[in-house]
């Protein structure tokens, strides 16, 4: 009786967690485009739902087949590895989320998506964090960095530039970098502009969403650029998706030697 009850509890937990993960993906899809981070919760959730619904049949198959048992253990190990990785990377992100000191010579704002000629909410939060820093540091120059995606009608940098100007930043303080398509290119192309205008010296900070600061700082360091990140707030309903995707990205970058 206890064994049956224990299995029922495990099945219920698997189904509930799986449904919540799938629901997260479905909810976010109504408010965001399709990307790996959006789909990942559903990718993890669907097998959990199936395992919970068909646990008795799956256990019976595993008892009869070594291959099925090995596959089941492999799947469980993958989930365990992901949970461990997610816990470690999220802890690293949170530990490294403090903002740098004032007084930088240049602030780089990393692009974060646009819709038409308006910033996405993620990018708006980055720009608002940049405005706050620029207001507190009137001597700081700023580079808005972001190219034009295949589904974008203008560059991210042009939208970011217009946003800052509309909120009172002098055009003389703003440089546009409109070619980058990745974090590494954000830094590489921005530094080229900075060196052309200001020379080799100068302290650099950058703004990106909080979950991205840890990886972005290490991408910059790998390129020989000393830059600290200012964490902008994220969109609340994207938090799980962002941190899941970032966990995979950090591990991938580490294995490829990019951080």
106-255: CATH topology is Rossmann fold (3.40.50)
pLDDT tens for residues 176-188?
Answer: 999 999 999 999 9
Q: Which residues have CB under 8 Å from 256's CB, separation 6+?
A: none
Answer yes or no: are the C-beta atoms of 148 and 114 closer than 8 Å: no
Residue 184: count of CB within 10 angstroms of its CB:
17
Which two tokens mark 162? 């217009």
Q: Is the pLDDT of residue 9 over 80?
A: yes
Beta bridge partners of 57: none
Tell me the torsion sign for CA atoms 233, 236, 242, 247.
positive
Mean pLDDT of the residues in the chain: 92
- Global pTM? 0.87
198 is written with which tokens?
């200001």
What are the residue ranges of CATH 3.40.50.620 in the chain?
106-255
Let me know: does 232 contact 213? Beta carbons within 8 Å.
no
| Per-residue confidence (pLDDT) for residue 110, from 0 to 100 | 96
pLDDT at residue 22 tops 90: yes
**pLDDT at residue 97 in the model:** 79
Give the β-pairing of 204-209 and 174-177: unpaired
Query: Are 122 and 245 within 8 A, CB to CB?
Result: no
Only one residue has tokens 């591990």, namely 251
**Both tokens of residue 164?**
């800052």
On the question of pLDDT at 199 being above 80, the answer is no
Q: Return the pLDDT at 245.
A: 94
**Residue 142: what are its φ and ψ, rounded to 5°?**
-140, 140
Cα separation of 27 and 23, whole Å? 6
């Amino acid at each position: 009786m206890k064994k049956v009850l224990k299995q029922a509890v495990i099945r219920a937990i698997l189904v509930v967690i799986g449904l919540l993960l799938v629901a997260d993906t479905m909810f976010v899809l109504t408010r965001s485009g399709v990307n790996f981070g959006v789909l990942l919760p559903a990718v993890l959730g669907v097998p959990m739902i199936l395992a919970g619904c068909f646990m008795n049949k799956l256990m019976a198959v595993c008892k009869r087949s070594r291959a099925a048992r090995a596959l089941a253990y492999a799947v469980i190990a993958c989930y365990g590895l992901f949970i461990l990785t997610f816990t470690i990377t999220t802890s690293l992100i949170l530990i490294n989320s403090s903002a740098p000191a004032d007084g930088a010579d240049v602030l780089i704002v990393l692009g974060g998506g646009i819709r038409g000629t308006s910033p996405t909410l993620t990018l708006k939060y980055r720009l608002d964090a940049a405005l706050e820093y620029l207001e507190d540091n009137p001597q700081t120059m700023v580079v808005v960095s972001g190219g034009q995606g295949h589904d974008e009608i203008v560059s991210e940098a042009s939208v970011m530039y217009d946003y800052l100007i509309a909120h009172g930043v002098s055009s003389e303080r703003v440089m546009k970098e409109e070619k980058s398509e990745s974090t590494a290119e954000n830094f590489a192309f921005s530094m080229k502009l900075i060196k052309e205008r200001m020379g080799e010296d100068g302290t650099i900070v950058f703004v990106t969403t909080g979950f991205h600061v840890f990886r972005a700082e290490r991408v910059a360091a790998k390129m020989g650029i000393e830059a600290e990140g200012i964490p902008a707030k994220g969109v609340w309903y994207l938090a799980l998706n962002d941190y899941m995707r970032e966990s995979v990205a950090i591990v991938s970058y580490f294995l490829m030697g990019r951080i």
